[in-house]
A = this chain, B = another copy of it.
């Protein structure tokens, strides 16, 4: 293959993946915080410790619908010798008890309603004669009498205040990523909004005279721009706010105009124009407006990469990541370099994706000492993961991304991974993992 053949000329200058990541991440800062309505804060990171200002539950209350009683009054209750109590009050959830439970009395009480003074135990309806009276269409109104037919231990069906969350309790420390399941808990302590690190605005710019926007007419020699929409989706999935600026043509004026539109963001991601062999116009413009490094990274796909700062006239700078033009290379390089950058800006503690161990079903070859990120479909079967490559791994083959949900790693120093061997896989889309039974 011509591709591999050529690298012997450049192999020595390559950066490792980790060197490139370290250099790039050093330029990323955690963004400032903002107040966000609770339901819009999912995926964002708490900027401050969250301490509950209230007890949950706020008052000691009933876990059942039943009768609040003094346990000492009913220790002799049984089905055949029920204890009769005078019902003095009825307490709904959300209302406060009006009366104290004194010897020989009880208050009818609903789930969640505060336990009245004097009572220490709740006897559920089912353990009283209320079901029978209801069946006979007798009144259960207050005042009246209730027969306790089964004994419960003292304190039964009583939820002490603060049992769930205590006033002053640290509910979540700063740095916690808010997930969907947390919202109920945060609402229950009364939070309408939360202080979170704001999301980065990520400008996305495709470059190339040959590109046409999807949905438009394709003239001979042109291709559709796959990177614009692909990167919009990838930025959103990483937690950033995408700002697609469009396609810049390979000339100085158009590039400069489009770059001006990118300066309002927190990060600029361009695709194409950064390879050693590309026309120099993109590289010239980028170099003139900032400090760009044009790198070769010891990985496949995604070897050519550019990184630096983009300046405006006032000297304000934003980091700029230049991805390869090839759509597969661009998406893999995004995964390895841009996603961690966005996560660092979001304040997420663990910026890198973890790996799971999988059994490889076919083989991965590594013929030039670069780390291979092979697109795989990962399945869960018999208690473990199985990975199959998505066919031809040429970096021009976008179809190899279709249906893929992971990147299997073949290390730099390993010539191949054989079918049946263990392989480490970044699962990039858990929702697409198939479960085979």
Q: What residues make up the interface of A, taking CB atoms closer than 8 Å to B? A: 1-3, 5-6, 9-10, 38-39, 42, 54, 56-59, 63-66, 92-96, 110-114, 122-127, 131, 150, 152, 156-157, 159, 163-165, 171-172, 177, 179-193, 208-216, 218, 220-230, 232-234, 236-237, 242, 250, 275-279, 325, 327, 330-331, 354-357, 380, 383-384, 396-399, 401-402, 404-405, 427-432, 435
Q: Given A64-B3, A181-B429, are A38 and B189 also a contact pair (CB < 8 Å)?
A: no
User: Could you tell me if A6 and B126 are in contact, using CB atoms closer than 8 angstroms?
Assistant: yes
- Distance between Cα atoms of A45 and B214 in the complex (Å): 20
User: Could you tell me if B429 and A230 are in contact, using CB atoms closer than 8 angstroms?
Assistant: no
Q: Given A397-B163, A397-B164, A398-B165, are A96 and B184 also a contact pair (CB < 8 Å)?
A: no
Q: Which residues of B contact A192 (CB under 8 A)?
A: 213-216
A177 nearest CB across to chain B (Å): 7
User: Could you tell me if B209 and A123 are in contact, using CB atoms closer than 8 angstroms?
Assistant: no
User: Could you tell me if A396 and B164 are in contact, using CB atoms closer than 8 angstroms?
Assistant: yes
User: Could you tell me if B402 and A229 are in contact, using CB atoms closer than 8 angstroms?
Assistant: no
User: Could you tell me if B185 and A64 are in contact, using CB atoms closer than 8 angstroms?
Assistant: no
The one of B184, B210, B399 that contacts A165, using a Cβ cutoff of 8 Å: B399
The one of B3, B179, B214, B237 that contacts A187, using a Cβ cutoff of 8 Å: B214
Q: Which residues of B contact A150 (CB under 8 A)?
A: 5
A254 nearest CB across to chain B (Å): 14
User: Could you tell me if A218 and B54 are in contact, using CB atoms closer than 8 angstroms?
Assistant: yes
A310 nearest CB across to chain B (Å): 24
User: Could you tell me if A124 and B2 are in contact, using CB atoms closer than 8 angstroms?
Assistant: yes
Number of copies: 2
- Which of the listed residues A2, A357, A405 has the most CB atoms from chain B within 10 Å of its own CB? A2
Q: Given A182-B402, A331-B181, A380-B354, are A279 and B38 also a contact pair (CB < 8 Å)?
A: no
Given contacts A3-B157, A186-B229, A192-B215, 14 further A-B contacts (CB under 8 A): A5-B150, A56-B399, A94-B221, A95-B209, A110-B277, A111-B277, A111-B325, A184-B229, A184-B230, A184-B327, A184-B330, A185-B398, A190-B224, A357-B383
User: Could you tell me if B233 and A39 are in contact, using CB atoms closer than 8 angstroms?
Assistant: yes
A6 nearest CB across to chain B (Å): 4
User: Could you tell me if B221 and A114 are in contact, using CB atoms closer than 8 angstroms?
Assistant: yes
Q: Which residues of B contact A213 (CB under 8 A)?
A: 192
Q: Which residues of B contact A228 (CB under 8 A)?
A: 187
Q: Which residues of B contact A65 (CB under 8 A)?
A: 275-278
User: Could you tell me if B5 and A57 are in contact, using CB atoms closer than 8 angstroms?
Assistant: no
User: Could you tell me if A401 and B5 are in contact, using CB atoms closer than 8 angstroms?
Assistant: no
- Distance between Cα atoms of A63 and B214 in the complex (Å): 22
Across the A-B interface, give the 7 residue pairs with the lowest CB-CB distance, nearest first: A192-B215, A94-B210, A65-B277, A184-B230, A430-B430, A354-B435, A2-B157
By beta carbon, the residue of chain B nearest A383 is: B357
Q: Which residues of B contact A127 (CB under 8 A)?
A: 2, 5-6
Q: Which residues of B contact A112 (CB under 8 A)?
A: 210, 223, 325
User: Could you tell me if A164 and B398 are in contact, using CB atoms closer than 8 angstroms?
Assistant: yes
- Distance between Cα atoms of A209 and B110 in the complex (Å): 12
A429 nearest CB across to chain B (Å): 5
User: Could you tell me if A429 and B179 are in contact, using CB atoms closer than 8 angstroms?
Assistant: yes
- Distance between Cα atoms of A215 and B341 in the complex (Å): 34
User: Could you tell me if A226 and B398 are in contact, using CB atoms closer than 8 angstroms?
Assistant: no
Q: Which residues of B contact A227 (CB under 8 A)?
A: 184
